[in-house]
Amino acid sequence: MITETVRAAAKEAPRRPPRRRTRDWHAYLFVGPSLFGVVAFLLLPVVIVLVLSFFDWELLSEPTFAGLDNYRRLAADGETWHALGVTLLYVVLCIPLQTVLALVLALLLDRKVKGLRLYRSLYLIPWMATPIVLGLVWNWIFDPRDGALNSLLGLAGVTGPDWLSDPAWALPAIALVNVWQHTGYTMLFFLAGLQGIPKELYDAAATDGATPAQRFWRITLPLLNPTMFFVMVTNLIGAFQVFDTVYVMTNGGPSQSTEVLNFRIYETAFKQFDFGYASTLSMLLFGVILLVTLAQVRFFGKRTTYDLS
């Protein structure tokens, strides 16, 4: 009796219209290429690297299972932990300055300025340039004898350091180059976020007697949280993965003062041909980026408002 009732209910249940099913298939067709890209170029490589981290593999030989040997080696590898420390220091030197400069530029351009499109294009030129070209140009700028920077300092009576050969200055110099390269690109996101804030809020605050500083801290920054969240996550991921500038300008030197973790992964894989251990180092970098990203999600999650209506 129960079975007959269920069958009768199933027959009487409304079926999805054919047009609805067609629209669903159309949606799957449009999402399919992007989904394939995510799986093929993001998820699958992570899985492959994770598997390789449990093997010894020198590229020309057959991979041999090593269990947790690579991770035990990692725990005792002082050079790798030094490279991680250099990477963290680079992030600290780069991200705060880049974010503040980008926000200041966005605030300056969030006005009726003549030639606004020209300014946007000029700020984007460094980001569009290739890292090798930038490295060659900045190598000349930082040259201790004939470089532009020390020449300018000499006009002011200051003797500039040997920027890229001094362990104390090499990493800040590379951070400065990357700040210069990516500030304009970051500024565009802040500018888009600023233009999405309703002007009525500023007018109402000004009517109530709020000062420009109060309007910035009470309106601009809180409503920029979605943009700030996106900028911080993407910029931090990019900073942890820095490689090109280090490779071109210092090659990890002097005295390993600029040997970031990504550069150490490159040397382990393509100079020592130890792909199993390089995969282990890659999983370390992946884990650090994941932890930092989750911390940002938790920090910004309770402070972000997306609905301004």
Q: How many CB atoms lie within 10 A of CB 246?
A: 25
Q: Which range marks the domain in which residue 38 is found?
A: 16-52
Handedness of CA 82, 88, 91, 97 (dihedral sign): negative
Write out pLDDT tens, residues 46-64. 999 999 999 999 878 888 9
| 34/157 same-domain check | no
| 39/117 same-domain check | no
| 47/189 same-domain check | no
The predicted structure's pLDDT at residue 182? 93
Confidence band of 2 (pLDDT split at 50, 70, 90): very low
| 75/176 same-domain check | yes
- Identify the CA nearest to 132 among candidates 170, 93, 181: 181
Kindly tell me if the per-residue pLDDT of 14 is higher than 70. Answer: no
| 38/163 same-domain check | no
Overall average pLDDT of the 297-307 stretch: 73
| 44/87 same-domain check | no
| 30/159 same-domain check | no
- Residue 100 belongs to a domain: yes
SS3 content of the chain, % helix, strand, coil (to 5): 70, 0, 25
| 140/118 same-domain check | yes
- Residue 308 belongs to a domain: no
- Residue 306 belongs to a domain: no
Kindly tell me if the per-residue pLDDT of 6 is higher than 50. Answer: no
User: Which domain CATH number covers 258?
Assistant: 1.10.3720.10
Of the given ranges (37-46, 65-74, 234-243), which has the lowest mean pLDDT?
A: 37-46
Confidence band of 9 (pLDDT split at 50, 70, 90): very low
Backbone angles phi, psi at 43, to 5 degrees: -70, -50
Any long-range contacts for 294-300 (C-beta under 8 Å, 24+ apart)?
Answer: 296/229, 296/232, 296/233, 296/236, 297/233, 300/225, 300/228, 300/229, 300/232
The verdict on whether omega for the bond into residue 222 sits within 30 degrees of 0, i.e. cis, is no
- Residue 163 belongs to a domain: yes
56 pairs with which residues across the strands? 64
Overall average pLDDT of the 126-134 stretch: 83
Number of domains in the chain: 2
Overall average pLDDT of the 39-52 stretch: 90
Write out pLDDT tens, residues 105-118. 999 888 776 777 77
| 285/138 same-domain check | yes
Write out pLDDT tens, residues 230-266. 999 999 999 999 999 999 999 998 999 999 999 999 9
Kindly tell me if the per-residue pLDDT of 100 is higher than 80. Answer: yes
- Residue 3 belongs to a domain: no
- Identify the CA nearest to 268 among candidates 94, 85, 49: 49
| 158/206 same-domain check | yes
Overall average pLDDT of the 300-304 stretch: 73
The predicted structure's pLDDT at residue 246? 93
Q: Is 226 exposed, middle or buried (0-12, 13-18, 19+ CB in 10 A)?
A: middle
- Residue 4 belongs to a domain: no
Write out pLDDT tens, residues 26-35. 777 888 888 8
- Residue 275 belongs to a domain: yes
pLDDT > 70: what percent of the chain? 90
| 24/103 same-domain check | no
Say how many residues make up the chain: 309
Q: Is 143 exposed, middle or buried (0-12, 13-18, 19+ CB in 10 A)?
A: middle
Kindly tell me if the per-residue pLDDT of 4 is higher than 90. Answer: no
Confidence band of 127 (pLDDT split at 50, 70, 90): confident
